[in-house]
Chain A
């Protein structure tokens, strides 16, 4: 029996549990033995001109090695020129826009968000850095702040000289009154609503951390990143170095969630400073820095319009997005492209329109956060479907069932341009309804409503389809070596930060070659050892990196067959590999067998080694349904999730343990967005949730145990039949939970509450509905 699909505990865990991981700040390597500490001086003002920087007092402070500002950055290449299309961004333009929108490293003559790096202080130890940074005196001439998307669109204050508005990208016919309204002509019912998908902070438990050493013409950068190779590419470009002169190492990484793709501005500054001063440096940000300096996620406003017939058929849907991308258009400019691509979700709606604008504001830049554009799409359509269901007075489960793409329509070309590979969306919905006891839940809800209970029950649904490995053509690398002692080493371009690649990749090798997992070493995240690779994001690892490992193993197996034939003086066609025992034998003659050590040793200097770069012909499309049950105290507005039942079908499951863990974590983050989390700015652009005392990370006490149902519909896009599972949780759980909270109070006249559905908001919605009802 193959080890694939079985519950294998992780090989990573003993070290993590007994000695802790080796995160960047834990590194005790010789190159960093005398490393100094880097501390940033950050802007305390959202929008201002810098009129002077006086670092003289800081220079005199104990332990100060250097205080560096943009004036010291005279050894950098010029910033990239404006793109030829005028910086319009759009499809396939995930990198910073450049041109007038270009983002500097250290601030040049103005700051555009609270937390923007202005200077960097180098000291012998970390406490000295905190002290000295406070002594750097920066003169700011405040400018009016563009704190929110509305002000950005109004355009009274522009962030970037040389631009005509704060709208960096416009795709489609966007804005109020735009779009083709004739698409809704045949509808009995049309519902329109503007909803917020609020700004979130990713908050990996390990913040950003970088160490850097410049020695012998080579720059070594240890960075807490999801992608060592992308980090090297970015470093080479920003610092004007040959990539061959840079080594990037990703040691253990304490969570990323999309916010550690590559290396960002602050990390580039630290690497530059190490080279500039010749002193090895360490930087590990504080949480207060992290909450304003690390990119945020989501931050979309959706104008939704949905129409259909009174018997439940949805005929037309329009999604108009305003993406607040923060102070600089980084990946945030790309997110609404993914939202638009997945706008219609799992429904067979004939008429779909999408449009979006990307605006800049004096806030922290936006980037990927677990789901990256797809949770936003699902949140919009799932709210729209519930609003439509409420309007026609039909059970929201029934409306979904009527409109889900039927099982016999795959591959299904969506009107948004995606080709959904495989799926059975109705089965996923029915499975959660049955497991949750939907009918009984509705009956209990009715009883509580009848009695007028203080604790009302809400049932929320979300059916979704999402896109994983959106950059399927980018592929992923693997190199596999079987050594003379029969052990194996895997070099993978896919860089783990908690997902369990070491375990899963070893399972794949054992499955294919019969070399026990314990004899398989997995190495990732070192560009000297693995120069080519992409890394971990977009739920791409298993379907690209995992399949690459499998491909390399198959290649090694065929090499081994030739070597074994020579060794055993048998015909290749007579040889077979027993993957249970990990031995080569002559078919029909079990006595004649050789181990992997025998075969690899016989291969001599040629060795048994294979490389693979696996690309997919197109992305894959996992799907599922989530059902959330919430209790809402209608006197206080406090909502509590009491059950969460899900089907998350990501094709064939290689490691149930790891797949479930991904679902659990994603669900918690989704519930957190629905109930608690929001990165808030005041009207001056000051962040007011910049510590973990203010930003409400969800805790164990606020969650139930989750009820996970299994479902495996293999994809045909890759030989393992696998799709991505990393982001399903946030995609399904967020709208299911929001819908549950609203459902709990819908009988009181509430049709919508924006996320997070805090007690204040829920209570206000109930009160407003009561007043509105009383006045009618």
Chain B
């Protein structure tokens, strides 16, 4: 499959979930597992441009498709995607665990509806749970990103096709 613009292939057990493929094989640990009922959305990524809960898809089902994770939205901490910038400016994250999924869901929302109302944002994010922010600033961030034309920023693919997936910047543990 294509992940954040780079090709990645591996032989994995047939039951391997896409989220575990991304985390354990591709080395992209931003998408998190927050539940086992497809309720929380912490694992949300884009597959062929659609937001998908990657705990609900087998890696094999993403074979040959184009996957974008939050690591693929920006080329680095200094060049964030407008949605990431809006999340920071509006303090739309605290512990950060839901954030990668929330950002991807928000990017997907604006791709479908570039000028949502507050109610539309709230409804669209219903499948992404956050326990820290009360959603107040997340909603503000999405509305601010919409005002700033974030929908025009193509969902991701900031990297070129030769991107090294494992090179995603990590803090030392």
Contact = CB atoms under 8 A, between A and B. Distances in A.
Interface of A: 9-10, 12-23, 25-29, 126-127, 203-207, 222, 249, 251-255, 257, 284, 286-288, 497-500, 657-658, 660-661, 664-669, 691-693, 697, 699-701, 703, 705-706, 729
Nearest to A697: B129
B34 A205 contact: yes
23 contacts: A14-B88, A15-B169, A16-B99, A19-B77, A20-B32, A20-B70, A21-B96, A205-B34, A254-B96, A255-B94, A284-B33, A287-B36, A664-B134, A664-B136, A664-B137, A692-B39, A693-B39, A700-B126, A700-B130, A700-B135, A701-B125, A705-B139, A706-B136
Contacts of A249: 173
B78 interface: yes
Interface in B58-102: 70-71, 73-74, 76-78, 80, 84, 87-89, 91, 93-100
Contacts of A705: 118, 136, 139-140
A703 B112 CA distance: 23
Nearest to A658: B91
B42 to A, nearest CB: 6
A14 B137 contact: no
Q: Is the interface of B mostly helix, strand, loop or mixed?
A: loop
B34 A21 contact: no
Contacts of B170: 19, 22, 28
A29 to B, nearest CB: 5
Contacts of B30: 19-20
Contact of A692 (B37, B121, B139): B37
B97 A255 contact: yes
Contacts of A252: 95-96
A469 B32 CA distance: 32
B134 A127 contact: no
Interface string B89-128: 1010111111110010000000000000010011101111
B168 interface: yes
Nearest to B31: A20
Contacts of A204: 95, 97, 131
A406 to B, nearest CB: 32
Given A20-B70, A700-B126, A127 B131 contact: no
B133 interface: yes
A668 B135 contact: yes
B29 A20 contact: yes
B84 A17 contact: yes
Interface residues of B, number: 65
A691 B87 CA distance: 29
Which of B76, B126, B173 is packed against the most chain A CB atoms within 10 Å? B173
Contacts of A12: 96
Contacts of A665: 94, 131-134
A306 B116 CA distance: 49
Contacts of B100: 20
Contact of A660 (B32, B91, B123): B91
B34 A206 contact: yes
B29 A669 contact: no
A255 B91 contact: no
Nearest to A257: B131
A701 B99 contact: no
B104 to A, nearest CB: 11
Closest 5 CB pairs of A and B: A20-B30, A498-B95, A254-B97, A668-B134, A14-B77
A668 B136 CA distance: 9
Contacts of B32: 20, 23, 25, 205-206, 254
Contacts of B87: 13, 17
A17 B80 contact: yes
Which of A17, A500, A667, A729 is packed against the most chain B CB atoms within 10 Å? A17
B39 A691 contact: yes
B10 interface: no
Interface string B28-60: 011111111101101000000000000000000
A253 B95 contact: yes
A437 B76 CA distance: 47
Nearest to B34: A205
Contact of B94 (A23, A26, A499): A499
B108 to A, nearest CB: 15
Given A255-B94, A667-B134, 8 more contacts: A13-B93, A17-B84, A20-B31, A20-B70, A25-B32, A661-B137, A665-B133, A699-B126
Interface string B137-173: 1111000000000000000000000000000111101
A75 to B, nearest CB: 28
Contacts of B123: 700-701
Given A23-B97, A661-B94, A251 B173 contact: yes
A668 B99 CA distance: 17
Nearest to B118: A705
B122 A205 contact: no
B138 A700 contact: yes
A318 B141 CA distance: 46
A127 B15 contact: yes
A254 B98 CA distance: 8
A661 B168 CA distance: 29
